[in-house]
Amino acid sequence: MKKVALITGANKGLGFQTAKELGQKGIKVLIGARNEERGNNAVSELKNEGIDAEFVQLDVSDTASIKNAVDTIESKHGHLDILVNNAGMIHPNESWEQNSVNSLTQDVLRATFETNFFGLVDLTQQLVPLIKKSEQGNIVNVSSVLGSLAEATNPESDYYAVKPFSYNASKAAVNSYTIHLATALKEDNIKVNSAHPGWVQTDLGTEHAPLTVEEGARTIVDLALDTTDKTSHFEHLGQPIAW
């Protein structure tokens, strides 16, 4: 049975690169994207490279969209082997340069968590029954070192001063979900891990980032393809990051 992977936010950037590399391994890749035109353009580009790709309309901030996507995957494929929760955002009212904890509004906080956390949990919960049908399931939550409480409280860390509150808090919540879900699924041969891709040249990371999308996708792809007992890990290029 051919392996099937769903990658959210896969029409560009890290999601697209992850889909491309998984597809090059012979895995059928489902391109989760909000925008149908952009999603189908990504599928066409992948198909032109000989990759088995399919568009799935998916807005992780919309419960109805999530349910429709899960129903589509179940009816067409009947199982899921790999889930890469890549979709994420930093709110335009936050910036990497300022500590926003005393200035952000509840709307900013809720909007950030809706995409980065609540939608991720909702989608994953609904897909777990399909992942349980895999011989080995892999769930990769694309997090960030900015979600590390250890780094956030270490004045010697390069990331100590980077404090957009809602973004960082949402990624810390994702890490907590990784730990809890990994424990819940430990008897089901489903591995759950958090990936820090690094500071990557994407719309989110900006052109000032030092890593290419190929370099950034490496950690995500490695965890998605991992066949060991590795679970409840938070890492970058195979190196652990303190929670």
The catalytic site residues sit at 167, 171
Beta 239-240 vs 234-236: how paired, if at all? antiparallel
Place of tokens 């029954």: 129
Q: Which residues pair with 211 in a beta bridge?
A: 200
Tell me which long-range contacts 9-13 makes (C-beta under 8 A, separation of at least 24). 9/33, 9/60, 9/86, 9/87, 9/88, 10/39, 10/42, 10/84, 10/86, 11/35, 11/38, 11/39, 11/41, 11/42, 12/38, 12/42, 12/202, 12/203, 13/200, 13/202, 13/203, 13/204, 13/213
Cβ atoms of 221 and 82 closer than 8 Å: no
Cβ atoms of 154 and 191 closer than 8 Å: no
Length of the chain as a residue count? 243
Task: Calculate the CA dihedral of residues 86, 9, 94, 125 and round it to 10 degrees.
Answer: -50
What are the φ/ψ torsions at residue 235 (nearest 5 degrees)?
-150, 165
